[in-house]
A and B are shown apart, each in its own frame.
Chain A
């Protein structure tokens, strides 16, 4: 069904494309939001990705690979917006709100810890984590979506998870140290 729609859209059928876009927009927006961590920028990236997809569809050789191709486009759209954001000197303040004592053992603290760890990763590392752990792509599929060799995707995935683990461990050490200091003060 999807391949037929892709084939039609590739030949200029806007109705077919609107069906494809409707089925993909939430997924693409979620990916963009996770990569960019900003709602407005994610909206821009999603629109940009879908318009690019429409424009470039005639160049898609294998309709079976539409999804991976779409992921590649949204990742690129995010990268472009990310570059623009950096050129414009826009920086996002990393929140440093300490979770309350009661939260430390709860889900909120857990998510906060992951959030902080992710912020220490590069955009490329965050992106492959999202494609693998959120979208559910295999390393091979992620490599396809990122347009990198499989070895690069595997390596990037490995180092991304290691970097995240190290970042979380480092933060835990800092937190424990701060608690000890607080108790001895």
Chain B
């Protein structure tokens, strides 16, 4: 046995003897009492890994970001019958409870109307076009995207809760103090991203929820890794020239972002039409 072996054995013996066997009972009791009055963090949505370093695929069609949000967990905020989006006509929708949801691990999804996967704090329904699949799916991360085209990611639509915006798109630091709590605050911060182009925000309503719609285009000629907005978990990255059709809704005080991302250079595919098709099918049930 080497000297180190002996020392390692002695150390293991030391810990085995020194470590307390039990925590005082009140530690657990007190903890659970605190838990009873502690709310869990919102299920903020982190974008799928394919979007995290999307700049690595510069010039490739990008995808994503976006949506959804929080609300009181009982969720009886259903507001049926409202008009949706810009110029949309209210339609009769099937009950969300009988719709298929995104598969837990992503992957192929049958075309048609789906809900976000289980665990999401807000019930959202949307139509998935043929050839699209779940590109991220967990209780805190939901998005769908077109299949890869020539090795490049296709357009995509994501659902997330956005907490803040980067101070500089070429850096990682977020704004401090953080962006204010309203939809307008968030829209203004995103629209003000240095060297990004943003259209004027338009008022929209979806299922009774007020929001803003605008388009954000990342600068095309840049060598830095571009970042935009951040969930509670991570900061979103975009590729140069990537376009995001952003819709942000106020759902019970929470800002729900639904964003469709595409790249104008994605050969032959009308990315914008694809993401708009999905975006226009989105409904917030609660």
Contacts and interface: CB of A to CB of B under 8 A. Distances in A.
A116 to B, nearest CB: 11
Contacts of A47: 27, 30-31, 34
Contact of B10 (A10, A18, A114): A114
A141 B8 CA distance: 18
B47 to A, nearest CB: 12
A161 B7 contact: yes
Contacts of B34: 47, 51
A26 B21 contact: yes
B93 interface: no
14 contacts: A12-B40, A18-B35, A21-B35, A25-B27, A26-B22, A34-B15, A34-B19, A46-B27, A55-B40, A58-B43, A114-B10, A129-B11, A161-B11, A164-B11
Contacts of A115: 14, 18
B7 A58 contact: no
A151 interface: no
A142 interface: no
A46 B233 contact: no
Interface in A107-162: 110-111, 114-115, 129-130, 133-134, 161
Q: Lowest 4 CB-CB distances: which A-B pairs, in order? A: A29-B23, A134-B15, A30-B19, A114-B14
A46 B119 contact: no
Interface string A79-91: 0000000000000
A50 interface: yes
Given A10-B139, A25-B31, A165 B4 contact: yes
A46 B23 CA distance: 9
Given A11-B119, A134-B12, 7 more contacts: A11-B139, A26-B23, A34-B15, A46-B31, A47-B34, A110-B10, A111-B18
A93 interface: no
B15 A133 contact: yes
B42 interface: yes
Interface residues of B, number: 43
A34 B18 contact: yes
Q: Which of A21, A22, A47 counts the most chain B CB atoms within 10 A?
A: A47
Contacts of A50: 28, 31, 35
B10 A58 contact: no
Interface string A23-50: 0011011100110000100010011001
A58 B73 contact: no
B264 to A, nearest CB: 32
Greatest chain A CB density within 10 A among B31, B34, B36, B141 is at B31
B232 A59 contact: yes
Interface in B1-52: 3-4, 7-8, 10-12, 14-24, 27-28, 30-32, 34-36, 38-44, 46
B226 to A, nearest CB: 24
A11 to B, nearest CB: 6
Given A14-B36, A111-B18, A165-B4, A56 B41 contact: yes
Contacts of B228: none
A54 interface: yes
B23 A168 contact: no
Given A58-B140, A130-B15, A43 B20 contact: no
B138 interface: yes
B35 A54 contact: yes
A57 interface: yes
Nearest to B30: A47
A17 interface: yes
A143 to B, nearest CB: 19
A61 interface: yes
B42 A58 contact: yes
Nearest to A165: B7
Contact of B17 (A10, A57, A61, A111): A111
A50 B38 CA distance: 11
